[in-house]
Amino acid sequence: MSDTMDVLEEKANGGQVMEIDEVVSVRDHEAFAAKHMPDLGHEVKEFKVFSWKLSNWKKLEKKITSPEFECGGHKWRILLFPFGNSNAPPNDTVSVYLDYADPKRAPEGWHSCAQFALVISNVNDPTIYTVSHAHHRFIAEECDWGFTRFSELRKLFAPQDGHVRPTIEEEAAEVSVFVRVLEDPTGVLWHNFVNYDSKKETGYVGLKNQGATCYMNSLLQSLYCTRFFRRAVYQIPTEDEHPTESVPLALQRVFYHLQTSDQPVGTTELTKSFGWKSLDSFLQHDVQEFNRVLQDKLEIKMKGTQAEGAIAKLFLGKMKSFIKCVNVDFESSRIEEFNDIQLNVKGMNNLHESFKDYVAVEMLEGENKYQAEGIGLQDAKKGIIFQSFPPVLHLQLKRFEYDIQRDAMVKINDRHEFPFEIDLDEFLDETADRSQPWVYKLHGVLVHSGDLHGGHYFALIKPDRETRWLKFDDDRVTPVTDREVLEENYGGEALNGLVSPMQRNQVRAMKRFTNAYMLVYIREAAIDEMLAPFREEDTPAHLKRRLDEERLQMEAKKREREEQHLYLTAKVITDETFAQHEGFDLATFDERNWPPSDLPTFRVLKNETYSTFKTRVAQHFNYPESQIRLWVLVNRQNKTVRPDTHIPENEPGLTVEGVRNNMAVRQQNDLRLYLDVVPDPTKPDVPAGSIMIFLKHFDTSKQTLYGVGKVHVLRSSKVGDLIPLINERMRWTPGTPLKLYEEIKPGMIELMKPKLTFTQSEIQDGDIICFQVDLPEKEIHDIESQGLLSNPTQFYDFLQNRVMILFRPKYEEIDNEYPEFSLVLSKKHNYDIMSAKVGETLRHDPIKLRFTTTHASNGSPKSVLKRSLNQSVAEIISPTYVSPQTTVILYEKLDVSIVELETKRSLKIAWTGIHNKEESTHPFLLPKTSMVHDLADHLASLVKLTPGGTGKIRVFEVSKDGKTQKEFTGSEMIGNIPEPVELYAEEIPQEELEADDADKVISVFHFSKEVSRTHGVPFRFVVKPGEKFSETKKRLQARIGVSDKDFAKYRFALIQVATFKQPSYIEDDDTIYDHKFAPEDVLGLDHVDKSGKTRTGAGEKAIVIRG
């Protein structure tokens, strides 16, 4: 838009007109401010201009301050650096700031929000100037604000922009500041929220966001602030329940924490109690559905308790749908209950209009007359009228609608106003109880910012009559202005305040994506009961007790964490733990693919003396102190961890930290020890020249390798001398031949020579020797032919490559048939060995298993493993950069071989027959190149078609909104149908095939109460000209094969998707053929869902709350 257009627009709006290049003088304060300081939309507390004349510019000090002036109850001054504020030359700029004059004297916690313009102008011609403007929240930590590079000095000393004089003339200039101190009614204007304390500022705390759960957080805060609701939730007995399995207890705990905590509260326990695994929590659900499901759940739990009936008392209202004849006295009506009201936004200017639209009366006249029972065709009025509204009224604004053209949900951002107070009397039936006025006050606004595919939710709530409006935005709670409650959430076009033509070009009208989608109103007559102050006794004592105990435990843990640096962890290996250890060294500490050994552990103060610590250890293991010695384990250069020396007993001042620093590794946080039990305390010392060796036994028959204690031997004795000692210890026949191996390090296990001495074999304290019975060649051959290991070298190789993999079902809930289990595999194993071992565990043919790897971060499926690649386990689990302790692989049990699956497409088709009932499901495995009509042919041979019927089958998907079929033409290739897909097939009825040009074929779907709560499978149906609906119904009943008893409970509605109208229910005398069917108009059958297959909205999963 051109500048002149802007001016014209100003004229049209009757505003003052200022030509774009009109010259403004610095001394014309109002005009100057109007030109250079945009209106930020906040109330101005005080506006001041202060000017300061300077001469001899080049002789000025490096930093100077002006005299002080007052504005908005604060003292200010100009801070000027005539040659710039940068430490490094060149000194070629001017720096100028607005400075808060005396921050030290200001009261603690002071702040001031100011908008300002700093100007340097010519002393003789005030129309020559340089100006910059800004706004800032001045606080103790940031008490000056302005421009380090305000202007280059040379530009100030030379004429610019067609002027004949410079700004600084003869070294003189005027420095001015225009200041607007703004009102800050909420106290948080332009706040950076560093160290912001919600509890201190507002008395309330926020809820942490678990990822896309802010829709839940905003609703929970609204329910929490409805104190009658909170009281009722507290009355549900939960003493013996567990928070992650009980929704009421988890909700009580969230409410109690909101009440008592000074930090934001977590909701993971609550979502766990809903049975949501982390992935569900991240699906943004519809808040209305979430609210309903939660309330249904609580209502069930409240039955038979003090709280019974609370939800109905709070949220339940009644409405009547009617048809009333105009000329005769006849009315047919039905009364229904509601928990919330869904109001149209599209085409409505405000809430009052939405209500009028909801109760708008439709005239049935002309061709559309009503067939009244026993009276014949009549002009009639059809509509809905309210009989009562609940004390707490939840209004859902229909911001999300289904768009037929896009076959998708879209968000409607139209402007829609709502008031702080609304009188709903005019929407009530004349028979309603009017003993108290039906005036409602706004209590909460739930807001969505963003589009359909995400965005952010927050809540604005007025907790009671006295408290101001607050914004609950996940973990932060802040005060807000009335404008932030109403105007900013109406939606529609927004202009940022009033904008002068100068700034017009910067601030364009912007479509606002932030708007209200749910409103909570409370009846004025009920406010004192609904929001009655909370008393101590309203909180159940058991909850308080339980949570106080937990808080103490948390504080103790926190203290422990804070004092962690004062402590060491000592881990003690004993002969018992060694006997249980299957792995390298004496215990596992830092292995990447294997969990560490579970060892006796002591938390020890670093400055505790060794003798005190030794006493504790002796008492723990029930030994006299004189009978034990502790050895320190060290990390050898070859990456093994072995006992090195025993701790000296005769140094009274030796501390535990001293032991670690001098004898182990200073960087290590734990001290690793071996408990050496001396068999005869009278002879505590071993003979001089002896060494301590640890023994391990490799048992070929059991395929195990375990520790069997230690021996002391003389360095000079021969390795072979160990054999009789081992035979005796193992109680084997004397002379049993053995083979001895030294465990040098992983990958280096060497056969020892029995004739060499220990010194010649380079054996030292803490070394490990592994033995096995020496087997004849034939036995070795037999063992190896079974795929088993015949010597320790092979077994150690397995240990080096072993990994623990956790297998869990990909789609099914974990149970006996689909267990979760761990297997130990070698990285050298391949896909076939892995699937064989999994098949063995599951008792399922390995060729009929399919595996999917997972993302290490959240366990979600990553990619399906191809059997044809036959990768090694190392490749399957490889490169995880987040190396988890265990790798998770998902499995599926297939009905077919994986080999076939890799060239074929597996599909399941739900068969709904001729009567639109899911009769059976048929799995198919067909080449990916097959057509959909091949699929129909295969299906025809498996299902029972009606004798004498059409013999034709229709294959279809269901549209995202669950209302229509999306039929395949038959020539699509099944390999090209996108995954995942739900396919249905039905027999095409004779009636449809024989329909002539005069007939209309329409879509019919099933729903329950709300049009969005669809269930079952949609179908096609023929509508005949001139047929009354009473006759149409009979054909419908025959089409879906429902009994008279059940069919009597059905209601029928015409759904006009395009107009977003409430469904209009059809009476027996209507002729639906006469309705001008747009392609997307459908007939809805409203009845209770017995199929168990609820759909919700566009491709969303229904919310399920378990607990």
Could you write out the DSSP letters of every residue in 1016-1071? EEEEEEEE-TT--HHHHHHHHHHHHT--HHHHTT-EEEEE-GGGTPPPEEPPTT--
Closest CA to 825 of 860, 864, 851: 851
Who contacts 221 (Cβ-Cβ below 8 Å, separation ≥6)? 206, 207, 258, 459, 461, 472
**DSSP character for 987?**
E
Q: Structure pTM?
A: 0.58
Structure-token pair, residue 638: 């070859």
Cα separation, 850 vs 852, in Å, equals: 7
Q: What pLDDT is attached to residue 804?
A: 85
The answer to whether the bond into 90 is cis (omega within 30° of 0) is yes
* Inter-CA distances, 602 with 430, 574, 960, Å: 78, 14, 60
Residue type at 236 in one-letter notation: I
Q: What pLDDT is attached to residue 280?
A: 47
Do strands 112-121 and 44-54 pair parallel, antiparallel, or not at all (unpaired)? unpaired
8 A C-beta contact, residue 181 and residue 114: yes
The answer to whether the bond into 861 is cis (omega within 30° of 0) is no
8 A C-beta contact, residue 591 and residue 583: yes
Q: What pLDDT is attached to residue 825?
A: 87
Question: Strand (E) positions, 462-584?
Answer: 470-473, 476-479, 492-494, 510-512, 514-523, 567-573
**DSSP character for 596?**
P
Q: What pLDDT is attached to residue 728?
A: 92
Q: What pLDDT is attached to residue 284?
A: 47
To which residue do tokens 């002393």 refer?
123
**Residue 285 annotated among the catalytic residues of the structure:** no
Cα separation, 758 vs 600, in Å, equals: 32
8 A C-beta contact, residue 715 and residue 689: yes
Closest CA to 706 of 828, 587, 825: 587
Q: What pLDDT is attached to residue 3?
A: 35
Cα separation, 1021 vs 1031, in Å, equals: 14
Which DSSP helix (H) or strand (E) runs through 284? none
Q: What pLDDT is attached to residue 781?
A: 92
Q: What pLDDT is attached to residue 501?
A: 38
Question: Strand (E) positions, 736-886?
Answer: 738-745, 748-751, 767-773, 802-809, 821-826, 849-854, 861-864
Cα separation, 256 vs 265, in Å, equals: 10
8 A C-beta contact, residue 437 and residue 524: yes
Write out residues in the chain with pLDDT < 50, as ranges.
Answer: 1-20, 279-282, 284, 494-511, 881-882, 884, 1096-1102
The radius of gyration of the chain from alpha carbons, rounded to an integer in Å, stands at 41
Cα separation, 414 vs 1003, in Å, equals: 30
Q: What pLDDT is attached to residue 89?
A: 59
Render pLDDT for 268-296 as a digit per residue (tens, 0 to 9): 788 777 776 554 444 545 677 778 878 88
Structure-token pair, residue 656: 């535990």
For 835, other C-beta atoms within 10 Å of its C-beta total: 22
8 A C-beta contact, residue 659 and residue 667: no
8 A C-beta contact, residue 359 and residue 404: no
Q: What pLDDT is attached to residue 921?
A: 87
Laid out side by side, the sheet with 380-388 consists of 331-338, 317-325, 380-388, 362-364
Q: Give the number of C-alpha atoms closer than 13 A to the C-alpha of residue 419, restricted to the C-beta side.
A: 13
Q: What pLDDT is attached to residue 282?
A: 46
- Torsions phi, psi of 601, nearest 5? -125, 140
**Cα 669 to the center of its chain, rounded Å:** 35
Q: What pLDDT is attached to residue 428?
A: 92
Query: 903 in helix, strand or coil?
Result: coil
Cα separation, 528 vs 898, in Å, equals: 67
Residue 728: is it exposed, middle or buried by C-beta count within 10 angstroms (0-12/13-18/19+)? exposed
* Inter-CA distances, 890 with 404, 821, 850, Å: 38, 11, 8
* Inter-CA distances, 578 with 668, 698, 793, 804, 827, Å: 22, 14, 20, 21, 25
Can you spell out the DSSP letters for 811-842? SSPPSSSS--EEEEEETT-BHHHHHHHHHHHH
Which of 456, 646, 915, 933 is catalytic? The answer is 456
Residue type at 786 in one-letter notation: Q
Which of 71, 113, 143, 214 is catalytic? The answer is 214
Q: What pLDDT is attached to residue 390?
A: 95
For 256, other C-beta atoms within 10 Å of its C-beta total: 19
Render pLDDT for 799-855 as a digit per residue (tens, 0 to 9): 888 888 889 898 888 888 889 998 888 888 889 989 999 999 999 999 999 999 888
User: What is the dihedral angle through the alpha carbons of 402, 404, 408, 411, rounded to the nearest 10 degrees?
Assistant: -40
**Residue 448 annotated among the catalytic residues of the structure:** no
